[in-house]
Amino acid sequence: MMKIVEVGPRDGLQNEPGLVPVAAKVSLIEALVDAGLRHVECGSFVSAKWVPQMADTSAVFAKVRRVPGVSYSALVPNLMGLAEAIRCGVSEVAVFAAASETFSRRNINCSIDESLDRLGAVANEAKSHGMRVRGYVSCVLGCPYEGEIALAAVARVAGALAGMGCYEISLGDTIGVGTPRKAQDMVRAVTRTVPIKQLAVHFHDTWGQALANILATLETGIEAVDASVAGLGGCPYAKGASGNVATEDVVYMLDGLGVDTGVNLEKLAVAGRDIMQLLGRTTTSKAAAALAALKENLV
């Protein structure tokens, strides 16, 4: 069984320039769960000045129908975000750091070490409330400002997140520059500080490598993959930004490999179709597009 962490409602929508109504976010999350996803990142408790689209995450959590056995998680950058997550009855939070110093400053306005101190306090407080804590490392295969990132830096940050009690560390190729062999080398380097069973991969598809990278990292023993329905993500106004690998494509590939995901591809594709219709966009998922074309021919 492969674990899929659906990040569309957070990583996908966070870059949308037009505010997406709360009801649409709630419908999306419920449709994803109905399709069989058991881990859905629903939003983030960050500064509304930094990410306006996520300002209504509390309202999303207040409205979403929670199915037992499903983890509805949220991203938190600091104790203030955690306090809001607690108030909203969130049972799993994700903290995020970067392997690149410049990216850390641009994304969360502090150095890597300052962020690790801050996140250590967040993780302790979250655990004392019985919450599960997941960790992200950004820029694991490259940084938009610094270019190549040393694998030792990735391993150090991942190890620090594991050390503060993150049950899983998601390795983020934030700008989607990685290629399969490099992705394998990166995962293997990180296993020097974090066991493979505790690692997940998070590929953005900017250079079209995400699916190939996932397959390559499965060969290293990875059993958890982040993905975004319809390939949501990327800003139409921000040059170069691109969404995560599409969940439909991941599910189609894993189905073909005989790896169980528990996800119904048809239902998932409908969830993707509906949110893309609302956003006025076409899906970037090849599997969803192929499925839709197949259906049209059958009618």
**191 is a site residue for ligand HMG (CB under 6 A):** no
Q: From the CA atom positions of the chain, what is the Rg in Å?
A: 18
Contact range with ligand HMG by CB under 6 A, out of 45-53, 61-69, 191-199, 209-217: 45-53
* CB half-sphere exposure, 40, CA atoms < 13 A: 31
Dist CA 39 CA 182 (whole Å): 27
**11 is a site residue for ligand HMG (CB under 6 A):** yes
Binding map of ligand HMG across residues 50-89, x = CB under 6 A, - = no contact:
xx-----------------------x-xx-xx--------
Nearer to ligand HMG, 13 or 64 (CB): 13
State the catalytic residue, choosing from 88, 110, 143, 235: 235
**104 is a site residue for ligand HMG (CB under 6 A):** no
Look at the chain and count its residues: 299
Binding map of Mg ion across residues 3-32, x = CB under 5 A, - = no contact:
--------x---------------------
Which of the listed partners (ligand HMG, Mg ion, none) does 72 bind, with a CB threshold of 5 to 8 Å by partner kind?
none
Footprint (CB under 6 A) of ligand HMG, residues 112-151: 136, 138
Nearer to ligand HMG, 193 or 291 (CB): 193
Nearer to Mg ion, 11 or 56 (CB): 11
* CB within 8 Å of 261: residues ≥ 6 apart: 1, 2, 4, 36, 250, 251, 254, 255
For ligand HMG, which residue of 27, 47, 179, 191 counts as binding (CB under 6 A)?
47
Q: CB atoms < 10 A from the CB of 295, how many? A: 11
Nearer to ligand HMG, 194 or 265 (CB): 194
Helical packing angle, 210-218 and 247-257, nearest 10°: 40
235 is catalytic: yes
Known catalytic residues are: 235
Footprint of Mg ion on this chain (CB under 5 A)? 11
